[in-house]
Amino acid sequence: QVQLVESGGGLVQPGGSLRLSCVVSGAALDGNSFGWFRQPPGKSRDEVACISGRDGSTKYADSVKGRFTMSRDNAKNTMYLQMNTLKPEDTGTYLCGIGRVGYACDLWIYGMDHWGNGTLVSVSS
């Protein structure tokens, strides 16, 4: 069965950095779309960054462009999200997901077939 496990979340002050990891088992990153999503407290889930299975391109939410960088290591079946210059608005539960269709990133949260349980990121003074 496909399993995704996030780690690396925690409490950080504004302007700080965190690096999230997502270890995937039961599925390969190569050939799939995969991304990072977040759910702020009391709000719905939304896309943060996503790598397309169609062309390998990476898309970022406007709110994180220039601050967050998504990467992956296919050999380790691990996804990463480097988060710099964190803001209080970045607070939320961060989840990784995988979608089997090449255009899954264009479907935002609806393109993901499997999800991790998330790791909490809290940005506050």
Q: CA-to-CA distance for 101 and 66, rounded, in angstroms? A: 27
Return the H-helix or E-strand segment holding 84: none
Radius of gyration of the chain (CA): 13
Residue 22's DSSP bridge partners are 6, 79
pLDDT tens series, the chain, 125 aa: 999 999 999 999 999 999 999 999 999 888 899 999 999 999 999 999 999 999 999 999 999 999 999 999 989 999 999 999 999 999 999 999 999 988 999 998 899 999 999 999 999 99
Specify the length of the chain in residues: 125
pLDDT in the model for residue 68: 98
